Chains A and B, each alone.
Chain A
Amino acid sequence: MNFLETITSITLLSPLIGALILFFRKENLYSDKIATTLIGLSVVGNLCVFYYTWNYSPIVLQDEWFLLGQHSFKATLKIDQLSSMLLTMVSIVSLFVHIFSSAYMQGDPKYKKYFTLLGLFTFSMFGVLVSDNLIMLYLFWELVGFCSYMLIGFWREKNEAVKAAKKAFVLNRIGDAGFMVAIITLYSTFGTVSIEALSTEVDQLQILPLYIVGIGVTMAAMGKSAQLPLSVWLPDAMQGPTPVSALIHAATMVAAGIYLLARCFFVLPAEIQLLIGIIGGLTAFLGAFSALSQNDIKRILAYSTISQLGYMMIGIGVGDPEASVFHLTTHAFFKAGLFLGAGSIIHSMHQVSCDICKGFDPQDIRWMGNLKQYMPKTFIGFSICLAGLMGLPFTSGFLSKDAILSSLLVKASTGSWEWIFLALLGFTAAAFTAFYSIRLLYQVFFGKLGIANHKVCKDCLVLPKEVNVRMTMPVILLGAFTLWFFYALSPFETSHTWLQNGLSLATVDTESVHTLGLFLSIGVVVLGAGGAYLIYFKDAFASLKKQLKSSSLHKLSYNFAYLDKGYKLGVKTTLFTANKLENIPHADEYFVGVTIHTSEFVRGFDDKVVDFFVKLFAVVNVVFGHMLAWFDKVIVDGIVTLFTKVLAIFGDVFRKPQGERTQSMIAWSIFLLLIMVLVLWFI
């Protein structure tokens, strides 16, 4: 193993080592420091790996895993530009989340367990990103799902949290089943499950297997990346601790689906790409639409995540995975920033309330307001990240979202109606995004503090305070990563950022629509943001707002198009049928019943007839036995006793007149006499 391989191994393994150390430790103390140090090590290592892979060549580590039939399965790690870029992103976000958590989770009795799971998650996420063997990828893919399950249900006394965790895992399993089908199809068709080998062997002519594979990996992505109709788990997953939402349910794990599609892009036939595009477009639209009406700050961000993941799916669909991956990266930073910021806000809203405050929810934005005054540092970080989410110029979000939307425009400009429809969805969603972002900004940081109007709480109100530096610093730094200059020199150079250029994935030439794209992107953002500004900041269109709030459109948005209801119905029917199936009498029970009855009948016969003779025999025996016993006791024993008594009488008779020695002499003589009698008798 050379130097580079050693570095790579340490980088990849250090989160796992951290998790193992914590697992075997007894006390909570220093858990955060151990975990954070090891993640820090990982960040440094990843930066080295990133530098090496971008300037030289991919790193490959390979070993034989097992041999099955004629096929040898190799455990292969391959770190190319795509992997190393995402590795760096994941480790940086993870580091920030670790630092944030050390303050956020302070005092939790399961502090150690929390960091153990974070470490395990980071390791598994690394695994997803570096596995070349699809089976290994699947392995880590499910492991991140497992960590997500454990972390969503981290406060396991909370019923909602536990249910949400189960829901997330089961819905993900539907996607995973698709992934499994894709893997076995690839194996059966091309005889290998290594992505690298597949990239040269895949034969576009074998169209049916490729359809199956395409649908399979799309299902996998739909599960992990919360695409319609499997997206209902993500809003519920917000029951987990907020930093977890930042790391897993915003920045990293949910992007794994997009990563998988980008990796396997070469196997996707055009029709499947269109399918991915349509799923992505609908998700982007519905997610943004639902975010408009939510009141829970985390749910707003969750729906926003769903919608942004939809954009990435569109990117895959239009054949520009480079743009998708770029958006994935930028989104990871600003969304993690937003979630951590939300964590800070929730944290300090918790301090505001008191025991008598009933019906107060620290996550509800209607109780917030004017927080910029109380939490200025969080405000700065949060609003920069929000700008990224909206896609304002000079932010990374603008660059990446515009890259996707311009590729979409290129497709739409060919005039086929599906793509025009998708472009419409995409741009509308962008406007919605700007709208709910401004609404969120206003409700949280501007206006009046909502809780000050609470009937009971206002009496015991403690004004919100800025949080610990370990919590503000990550938000501000993540905000800094949202600025454009990390990604491109010119803030308007959307399709030629150095990250995209280095990726060497498929891409779309967007030169023809560059200017149009720019103007449209900025236009819809201004439209959405302007509308929200007028409604919230300037209080315009008050009556329209009121009307909308009571309309069924609002309900549709608030309930995420009632998808959950549909699932509940499905689950209920399933359970009902399963229950019935378990309780129906099986045919064989009659069979067994009849057998037992017959045997009982035979036993009855046995009792009455056969047993009679047996009993009779037994009674006769017993009577005979008793007779024998009597005979034994009275006759035999009697004779013996009589004999001894006679002897005793004789003894007495003889003993009395003589001395003691004569007694034994008599005994001897009788004994000899007896022997003589016996001898005479037998002869």
Chain B
Amino acid sequence: MSQLLLTLLVFTPIFGTLVILLLPNSFKDLFGKITIGINSFQLIIASYLMMGYEGLSEKMNGILSLDTFQYLEKSEWIVLNLGTFGRLSADYTLGVDGLSNSMILLTAIVMVIGAISSLEIKTKRRGFYALYLLLSGTIMGCFLALDFFLFYLFFEFMLLPMYFLIGIWGGKNSEYASIKFFIYTLVGSIFILVIMIALAASVIDPIATAVQLGLAESIQQVTPDIIEKVHVMLVSGEIEQSNLVRTFSLVHMMDASNYIPNAILSLDSGAMLFGTHVRFVAFLMVFIGFAIKLPVVPLHTWLPDAHVEAPTSISVVLAGILLKIGGYGMLRIAYSIFPDGAHHFAWYIALGGVISILYGAFVALGTHNLKRMIAYSSVSHMGFVMLGIASLTAEGISGAIFQMFSHGIISAALFLIAGVLYYRTGNLEIENYSGLSSKMPRYTMLATIAFFASLGLPGFSGFMAELFVFLGAFNSSAVNNLVPRWMTIVATLGLVLSAAYYLWAMQRIFLGKYHLKDESMDEKLKDLTKRELLMLSPLAVITLVLGIYPKLLINLIEGSVTVFVEFANYVGLDYIKAIIGA
């Protein structure tokens, strides 16, 4: 049973989609409840997995080799015989390590909250919930997949429901927003697709190749010695093309000795593109693919539009989880496969992070729409993720992951807060409201918590995340000299700006004398309902607990982060030397 938990995590919601599609129309009031039920089931499994996850174990830290992943599920999936080009195999591989575990938990939490929030949807419910469940399954798949092909499949399948969810159930201008979202993400995924194919053409699976060569009878019998032998044979060109088993496995792609000599993306490839080594270009393409998703200034403009138009629950999912796939993808794919590129472009990536932090915060100051402001604050907060990742220090990477988790929780709360107002009046222009605190005291209290959590008040998780990122980014110049110190110092200005725009919005909407531009709204403005409280209070508790006791999350990710940082630093430098040598 426990062997199939991850599959269950991915495919229960997809099965739920079918169920909802097939149920007769007389069940339409149940669709919402079914969705909540399935997502809660996901949450239970995810929590069970996290409780059993050995965060501090020495060996089971994932990242580098498949057998160190926890809850690993692997089976053969697609094997293509390419004749003289050998074989191409994509495996069905799911596994958990410190890079993905927090994201899985986050996905499970936010999806449940989003499902509860979806009860507000009144039209075309069958389609909505079917797509929503499809989305929850594919997102989980994205975080769990350890095979590039599988990952890409989930990645693309996630795009589709999102497009419809924004386009059909969104606001007035939703068609424009959803097309924009679609185009942006599609461009990103085309970049990723190209590199994925190039990688598959360059990398072999040494284990399967050994079996193919007859060095071992079955995959289980392949020992490290045999793998070593395959590597040696590969370098010396003793293996015939037709015996090579090319692979999509993300883990195999991290090991330089699995690259076919002189293949397009191998270290000794002499190929140059735009005057740079092709591996650097490849890194950049994958990175940009994920940077669009994160998003990074100047690739961010789809985000505010998508948020403003999307229905509340979809905003929650979009900000809470989808953006994190960008950060996760950078770590799992761009940085793991091309640590050389990570070193090469660190300066620019860090600069991108700092610009995102400041630019996002600055523009948020100038917005008039509450959701737009929160969207830009997301851009700013994702800048911290970039900066942390760029630093390639344990503190920075932990900070980036912590920030992803924390922002997932806090932005979900923020969009719910905006949704509360939107649900009642259908209007989010800040200037329309004033002094809501006297009319809706409970709402104001939770909004205050969410705002202060987001502006990084110590005691909330957002602060811890920012602190870790700052520590890591500043320390980088002492450890690996990737991020200059002035960048971190400049980035601290973000602290001031975020306080400014949040408190200003707070002042304009909630404080001062109670006043509405449109008097007819008055009777619609009721304080929080029980359902809304049920969604918001757990989020508030989570961010508070993590802010005071960050150990709970840190212990889950730290082991893998250490492995990752060591790998990316040492191997990255080695690769760079090899490339320059070539």
Please give the residue numbers on chain A whose beta carbons come within 8 Å of chain B beta carbons, in ascending order: 64-71, 135, 138-143, 146, 149, 153, 156-159, 162-163, 165-166, 169-170, 173-174, 176-178, 180-181, 184-185, 187-189, 212, 574-575, 577-583, 586, 588-589, 591-592, 595-596, 599
* Inter-chain contacts of B437 with A (CB < 8 A): 156
Interface 1/0 per residue, B340-373 and A, CB below 8 Å: 0000000000000000000100111111000010
Given A66-B554, A586-B301, A592-B179, verify A581-B496 contact (CB < 8 Å).
no
The 7 tightest CB contacts between A and B, nearest first, are A69-B394, A578-B366, A139-B458, A579-B366, A582-B366, A184-B474, A578-B365
Residue of B376, B475, B511, B551 touching A162 (CB-CB under 8 A): B511
Q: Which B residues lie within 8 Å of A583 (CB)?
A: 366
Binary contact readout B462-498 vs A (1 if CB under 8 angstroms, 0 otherwise): 0100011011001101100000000011001101100
A189 to chain B: which residues have CB within 8 Å?
A: 478
Q: Which residues of B contact A (CB under 8 A)?
A: 176, 179-180, 183-184, 298, 301-302, 359, 362-367, 372, 376, 393-395, 398, 435, 437-438, 452, 457-459, 463, 467-468, 470-471, 474-475, 477-478, 488-489, 492-493, 495-496, 499-500, 503-504, 506-507, 510-514, 549-551, 554-555, 558, 561-562, 565
How would you classify the secondary structure of chain B's contact residues: helix, strand, loop or mixed?
Answer: helix
Most buried by B among A135, A143, A188, A574: A188
**What are 30 A-B residue pairs whose CB atoms fall within 8 Å in the complex?**
A64-B551, A66-B550, A68-B468, A68-B554, A69-B398, A69-B561, A70-B394, A142-B457, A142-B463, A143-B459, A149-B503, A156-B510, A156-B511, A157-B514, A159-B513, A166-B507, A173-B499, A177-B495, A178-B492, A181-B488, A184-B475, A184-B488, A578-B362, A578-B365, A581-B366, A582-B372, A583-B366, A588-B298, A596-B179, A599-B179
A134 to B467 Cα, complex, angstroms: 12
Residue of B nearest to A583 (CB): B366
Contact of B474 among A166, A187, A578 (CB under 8 A): A187
In the complex, residue of chain B having the shortest beta-carbon distance to the beta carbon of A184: B474
Nearest B-chain residue to A174, judged by Cβ = B496
Contacts of B376 on A, CB cut-off 8 Å? 582
The CA-CA distance from A586 to B362 in the complex, in Å, is 16
Instruction: Give CA–CA (A170, B365) in the complex, Å.
Output: 13
CB distance from B247 to the nearest CB of A (A): 33
A181 near B458 with CB under 8 A, answer no
> Closest CB-CB distance, A572 to chain B, in whole Å?
12
Is B365's CB under 8 angstroms from A180's CB?
no
Contact A157 B554 (CB under 8 A): no
Residues of A close to B457: CB separation below 8 A: 142-143, 146
Q: Select A592's contact among B183, B298, B367, B468, beta carbons within 8 Å.
A: B183
Q: Which residues of A contact B474 (CB under 8 A)?
A: 184-185, 187-188
Residues of A within 8 A of B452 (CB): 146
State which of B363, B496, B511, B565 has its C-beta within 8 Å of the C-beta of A578.
B363
CB contact between A173 and one of B438, B495, B510 (< 8 Å): that residue:
B495
- What A residues does B550 contact at CB under 8 A? 65-66
Give complex CA distance A586, B376 in Å: 14
Contact of A588 among B179, B301, B438 (CB under 8 A): B301
| Partner among B459, B514, B551 whose Cβ is within 8 Å of the Cβ of A65 | B551
Q: How far is the CA of A586 from the CA of B492 in the complex (A)?
A: 26
The listed residue (B478, B511, B555, B558) touching A153 by CB distance below 8 A is: B511
Residues in B neighbouring A181, C-beta threshold 8 A: 488-489, 492
Q: Given A139-B459, A146-B457, A592-B176, A177 and B492 touching (CB < 8 A)?
A: yes
Given the contacts A156-B437, A184-B488, A588-B301, A595 and B179 also touching, CB distance less than 8 Å = yes
A68 and B366 contacting across the interface, CB-CB below 8 Å: no
Taking a contact as CB atoms under 8 Å apart, the answer to whether A589 and B301 are in contact is yes
CA distance A557 to B513 in the complex (A): 32
User: In the complex, what distance in Å separates the CA atom of A153 from the CA atom of B507?
Assistant: 10
Residue from B301, B468, B492, B551 whose CB has the most chain A CB atoms within 10 Å: B492
Q: Is the CB of A162 within 8 A of B367?
A: no
Contact status B496-A177, CB under 8 Å: yes
B362 touches A581 (CB 8 A): yes
- Residue in A68, A173, A187, A577 whose CB lies within 8 Å of B496: A173
- One of A67, A159, A170, A176 near B554 (C-beta < 8 A): A67
A142 touches B511 (CB 8 A): no
- Can you name the residue of chain B whose Cβ is closest to the Cβ of A189? B478
Apart from A166-B506, A582-B376, A586-B298, what are 18 other A-B pairs with CB-CB below 8 Å? A67-B555, A68-B394, A69-B398, A135-B467, A138-B458, A142-B457, A143-B458, A156-B511, A157-B513, A159-B513, A173-B500, A185-B474, A187-B474, A580-B366, A581-B363, A588-B184, A589-B301, A596-B176
Considering only CB atoms, which chain B residue lies closest to A71 in the complex?
Answer: B395
Distance of B471 from chain A, by nearest CB (Å): 5
Closest chain-B Cβ to A258's Cβ sits at a distance in Å of 21
Q: Give the nearest-CB partner of A586 in chain B.
A: B301
* Contact status B475-A157, CB under 8 Å: no
A143, A170, A583 — most chain B CB neighbours (10 Å)? A170
Measured in the bound complex, the distance between the Cα atoms of B562 and A574 in whole Å is: 41
- Taking the closest CB of chain A, its distance from the CB of B158, in whole angstroms, is 21
Chain B: minimal CB distance from A358 (Å): 20
User: Within 8 Å CB of B470, what residues of A?
Assistant: 180, 184
Min CB gap A178→B, angstroms: 8
Bound CA–CA A300/B297 (angstroms)? 47
CA of A173 to CA of B362, assembled, Å: 15
Give CA–CA (A592, B510) in the complex, Å: 36
A159 to B183, Cβ gap below 8 A? Answer: no
Contacts of B511 in A (CB 8 A): 153, 156, 162
Task: A187 to B471: give the CA distance in the assembly, Å.
Answer: 7
| B residues near A162, Cβ cutoff 8 Å | 507, 511-512
Q: Known: A177-B492, A188-B474. Is A169-B435 also a contact (CB below 8 A)?
A: no
- Write out the residue numbers on chain A whose beta carbons fall within 8 Å of the beta carbon of B504: 166
Q: Which residues of A contact B496 (CB under 8 A)?
A: 170, 173-174, 177
